[in-house]
C-alpha cells in the first residue's frame, strides 16, 4: 500500500509547483503576506528549495531533518504578519487557517499529478495518504482537527475555498514576475514557457480566469498530449532517477543545517 513516503519523492510532482504557488497566493491572506514580505518571485529557487526541503524532510527524512526544517520555517514565518490597521486583509504566517490552505494546495496538486501519472489510488490507500499529508500543516501551527476529516470533506473545503479566492494587481504582478524568472538560472528561464503553459493548464478554471490567463480547447488537448507523453516516459524511468530531487534536497538540508 502506497504512503506519503512513496508519493512525495516522485520528481514529476515538481511540474505542479507553479500551480500550488498560484493557488496559495490567490487566498488574500497568503497573497498579502507574499506581496509584503517575500522575494520569491525574484528568487524562485530559494522558495522552491525551502518548500521541497520541508516536504521531503517530513515525508522521507529523519526526525532530526524534520525538526530542523520546522525550526527553519518557523523562523522564516516569524516576521510575516501585517498590521490590521494598515493591511487589508490582516494576515499572519502562523495563522492555522492560512497554513491549512497552503498544505491543501500542496496535497491537491501532488495527488492530482500522481494519479494522472500512475492512476488512481485505491480508496483505503488514498485516505491513508490524505491523512499523512496533514503533517505539512500540523508540524507547524495547524491543529489536526482543522484538516478535513476525509477526502470527501477535503473536496468540500477545497471547492468552498476556491470560490473565495481573488487576485488583485499586486498578486497578479507576483505571478507575472514568477513566470518572467529574470534572476533564475539559465536552465530555468529556458523551460519557463513550458512551465507556464503547464501551470496555467493545471489551474482550476475559475482561478485561471482570476489571473486573466487565456485557455482554449486546443490548449487543453495540447496539455493532455504533453502530460501523457511525459508520463509515459517517466513511468519507465528507474526509481532512483525519478526520486533524485528528494535525495538532492535532503542532502542539501543536511549540509546547511
183 DSSP assignment: T
The predicted model scores a pTM of 0.94
Cα-based torsion angle of the residue sequence 236, 242, 243, 244 in order, rounded to the nearest 10 degrees: 140
Separation in Å, CA 50 to CA 7, 12, 194: 19, 18, 23
* Cell numbers that stand for 233 in this block: 516516459
Structural domain containing residue 42: 4-256
Backbone torsions φ then ψ of 166, nearest 5 degrees: -150, 155
Q: How is the chain split among helix, strand and coil, in percent rounded to 5?
A: 70, 0, 25
Cβ-based neighbour number of residue 231 at 10 Å: 15
**Number of domains making up the chain:** 1
Q: Along the chain (257 residues), what's the average pLDDT of each consecutive run of 10 residues?
A: 96 96 96 82 76 96 96 89 68 92 98 97 97 97 97 98 96 90 77 93 98 97 97 97 96 86
Compute the CA torsion angle 241, 110, 69, 45 (nearest 10 deg): 70
Confidence (pLDDT) at 188? 77
Amino acid at each position: 500500500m502506497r504512503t506519503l513516503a512513496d508519493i512525495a519523492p516522485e520528481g514529476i510532482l515538481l511540474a505542479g509547483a507553479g500551480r500550488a504557488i498560484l493557488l496559495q497566493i490567490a487566498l488574500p491572506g497568503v497573497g498579502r503576506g507574499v506581496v509584503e514580505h517575500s522575494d520569491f518571485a525574484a528568487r524562485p529557487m530559494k522558495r522552491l528549495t525551502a518548500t521541497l526541503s520541508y516536504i521531503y524532510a517530513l515525508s522521507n527524512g529523519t526526525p532530526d531533518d524534520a525538526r530542523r526544517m520546522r525550526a527553519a520555517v518557523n523562523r522564516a514565518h516569524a516576521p510575516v504578519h501585517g498590521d490590521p490597521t494598515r493591511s487589508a486583509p490582516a494576515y499572519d504566517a502562523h495563522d492555522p487557517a492560512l497554513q491549512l490552505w497552503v498544505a491543501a494546495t500542496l496535497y491537491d496538486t501532488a495527488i492530482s499529478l500522481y494519479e494522472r501519472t500512475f492512476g488512481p489510488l485505491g480508496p483505503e490507500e488514498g485516505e491513508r495518504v490524505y491523512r499523512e499529508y496533514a503533517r505539512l500543516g500540523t508540524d507547524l501551527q495547524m491543529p489536526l482537527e482543522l484538516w478535513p476529516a476525509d477526502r470527501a470533506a477535503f473536496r468540500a473545503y477545497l471547492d468552498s475555498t476556491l470560490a473565495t479566492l481573488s487576485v488583485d494587481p499586486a498578486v497578479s504582478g507576483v505571478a507575472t514576475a514568477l513566470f518572467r524568472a529574470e534572476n533564475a538560472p539559465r536552465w530555468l528561464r529556458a523551460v519557463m514557457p513550458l512551465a507556464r503553459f503547464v501551470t496555467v493548464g493545471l489551474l482550476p478554471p475559475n482561478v485561471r480566469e482570476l489571473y486573466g490567463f487565456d485557455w482554449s480547447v486546443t490548449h487543453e488537448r495540447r496539455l493532455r498530449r504533453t502530460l501523457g507523453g511525459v508520463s509515459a516516459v517517466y513511468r519507465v524511468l528507474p526509481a532512483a532517477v525519478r526520486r533524485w530531487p528528494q535525495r538532492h534536497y535532503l542532502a542539501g538540508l543536511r549540509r546547511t543545517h
